[in-house]
Amino acid sequence: MGLHIEGERVDAAVRQRLLAVALDSFTRKGYTATSVREIVAAAGVTKPVLYYYFGSKEGIYLELMNGTYAQFAERLNLLAACQGSVRERLIAFCTGCFDGFVEHVQVVRLIYSIYFGPSQGAPPFPYEEPFDRMLEILASFVRDGIAAGELVKVDEKDATWAIISCLNTVMQEQLCHTPPRIDRQGLVRLLDLILNGFSQGVNP
């Protein structure tokens, strides 16, 4: 049962509609060029409804970031616990990250535009935390692989960067406005090439 603010019904559906409209506008126009007036008009509500849920334009932006990052952090924790050989764990981790990236590709476009471009006046946010966590997890897989004899004694840091560079390139290709030239299956093929190189000389 929803609440009412100045005669307007507010509930979870209204909140989600505001988030969707804000994301669309931030992505198309940029943070600075998007106004609260435009967001509420597109969502079919009034300003008090947005203020009730998010407090301000900054608040709705941070909710978009916090919500997406929390979901991805949960995904990373689940992927970090994958079982199997190191090759299986690495491929499951990378394809799982790819799936999460594609699922939230519109938010990722917004993040990239602000992180790599002008700040647009957007509030500060720890954008790099997921990447740091990905590096940490991949490095642990590489260490496990070397210790178990599944991988040759390569430099742990170099091997980690080789894998994450491959993953990042394939994920970022999904941001293109033309049809992506490589997909999830292509990512698996590239990872197999890299891991074959790291496994040369290892007895099966």
In DSSP notation, 130-198 reads HHHHHHHHHHHHHHHHHHTTSS-S--HHHHHHHHHHHHHHHHHHTTSSSPPSS-HHHHHHHHHHHHHHH
Q: Are residues 51 and 69 in the same domain?
A: no
Task: Give the pLDDT of residue 197.
Answer: 95
Task: Give the pLDDT of residue 118.
Answer: 86
Q: What is the CA radius of gyration of the chain?
A: 21
Phi, psi of 197 (to 5 degrees): -65, -40
Mean per-residue pLDDT, 54-67: 98
pLDDT band at 57 (very low <50, low <70, confident <90, very high): very high
CB atoms inside a 10 Å sphere around CB 182 = 14
Q: Are residues 80 and 36 in the same domain?
A: no
Q: Are residues 45 and 75 in the same domain?
A: no
Q: Are residues 36 and 77 in the same domain?
A: no
Task: Give the pLDDT of residue 5.
Answer: 54
- Here the CATH number for the domain that contains residue 45 is 1.10.10.60
Task: Retrieve residue 146's tokens.
Answer: 């070397």
Q: Are residues 141 and 41 in the same domain?
A: no
Q: Is 60 within a domain? A: no
Nearest to 111 by CA among 172, 165, 158: 172
Task: Give the pLDDT of residue 2.
Answer: 52
Q: Are residues 72 and 106 in the same domain?
A: yes
Q: Which residues pair with 4 in a beta bridge?
A: 9
Owning domain of residue 176? 65-199
pLDDT band at 200 (very low <50, low <70, confident <90, very high): confident
- Here the CATH number for the domain that contains residue 99 is 1.10.357.10
pLDDT above 90 coverage of the chain, percent = 88
127-173: pLDDT as tens digits? 999 999 999 999 999 999 999 999 999 999 999 999 999 999 999 99
Q: Are residues 121 and 174 in the same domain?
A: yes
Contact 48, 5 (CB under 8 A): yes
Q: Are residues 78 and 162 in the same domain?
A: yes
Q: To which residue do tokens 């301000």 refer?
A: 56
* Boundary (domain end) residue, out of 36, 55, 74: 55
C-alpha 40/C-alpha 50 separation (Å) is 7
Q: Are residues 117 and 150 in the same domain?
A: yes
Q: Are residues 47 and 78 in the same domain?
A: no
Q: Are residues 98 and 131 in the same domain?
A: yes
Q: What's the total number of domains in the chain? A: 2
Task: Give the pLDDT of residue 1.
Answer: 44
C-alpha 196/C-alpha 191 separation (Å) is 8
C-alpha 166/C-alpha 107 separation (Å) is 21
Q: Are residues 79 and 167 in the same domain?
A: yes
